[in-house]
């Protein structure tokens, strides 16, 4: 940890354990169209960002029905049910422990900004974060440009920041913004996908905390 001035956290699937909720909602969207549903394992195999690509893998044909309609349907149910999910086991304790080390922490997410602010506050994380950065729309298109702006705000040199996420996209964002990266396999993508990135992959926050602080 001595080399890092900042930890940059992904939200969905990393700090926030919403995998089962997300799978349940996409299955509801699929059922309403009489389409095959997904197991958790199948969901984690096809999930990707931008989410439009994962919707296609789930079977949606956006020539017949626009992505914006399907995406809004999914998000409206997610917003109604989001507090059915909780922080990942060990996430809050890890954030607090890093805070006691005097290291800055930020959230960088493809989630909509105003809702991200609300839910981070609900779970008591706001006071531990120097920055909470989300999108200005609901369609989870990616966060590379947001990450670049965050790095400028942090004033970091390359490798002074560590990004923690749960997807290949998080690794790609880290590369683009000049941050190191570690990944958690307890989130939205399978461990097999994450290992292809060539960075450390942890099973849970307890392993991550032990790596970072001991």
* Domain coordinates in residue numbering, the chain: 6-18+87-213, 19-84
14-28, 53-67, 82-96, 127-141 — which is least confidently predicted? Answer: 127-141
- Sign, CA dihedral 127-214-195-36, equals negative
pLDDT at 145: 86
Q: Under 8 Å CB-to-CB from 107, ≥6 apart: which residues?
A: 8, 9, 10, 11, 15, 116, 120, 125, 129, 131, 132, 133, 134
Mean pLDDT value of segment 173-178: 92
d(CA 35, CA 88): 30
- End-to-end Cα separation, the chain, in angstroms: 9
Residue 140: its pLDDT value, please?
Answer: 44
This prediction has a pTM of 0.92
In the beta sheet, which residues pair with residue 30? none
Q: Which two tokens stand for residue 158?
A: 């390359």
Gap between the Cα atoms of 98 and 187, Å rounded: 21
Average pLDDT of the chain is 92
Residues 19-68: pLDDT tens digits? 999 999 999 999 999 999 999 999 999 999 888 999 999 999 999 999 99
User: In this predicted model, what pLDDT tens digit does every residue of 103-127 receive, in sequence order?
Assistant: 999 999 988 888 899 999 999 999 9
CATH number for the domain whose boundaries are 6-18+87-213:
3.40.50.1000
């Amino acid at each position: 940890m001595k080399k890092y001035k900042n930890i940059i956290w992904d939200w969905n699937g990393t700090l926030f354990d919403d995998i089962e909720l997300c799978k349940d909602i996409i299955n509801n969207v699929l059922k309403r169209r009489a389409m095959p549903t997904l197991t958790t394992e199948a969901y984690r195999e096809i999930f990707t960002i931008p989410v439009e690509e994962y919707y296609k893998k789930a079977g949606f044909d956006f020539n017949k029905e626009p992505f914006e309609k399907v995406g809004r349907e999914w998000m409206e149910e997610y917003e109604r049910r989001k507090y059915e999910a909780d922080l990942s086991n060990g996430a809050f304790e890890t954030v607090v422990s890093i805070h006691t080390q005097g290291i800055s922490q930020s959230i960088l997410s493809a989630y909509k900004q105003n809702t991200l602010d609300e839910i981070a506050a609900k779970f008591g994380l706001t006071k531990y974060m120097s920055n909470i950065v989300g999108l200005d729309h609901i369609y989870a298109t990616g966060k590379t440009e947001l990450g670049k702006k965050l790095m400028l705000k942090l004033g970091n040199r390359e490798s002074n920041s560590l990004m923690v996420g749960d997807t290949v996209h998080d690794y790609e964002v880290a590369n683009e913004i000049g941050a190191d990266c570690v990944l958690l396999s307890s989130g939205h993508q399978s461990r097999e996908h994450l290992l292809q990135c060539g960075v450390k992959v942890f099973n849970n926050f307890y392993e991550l905390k032990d790596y970072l602080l001991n």
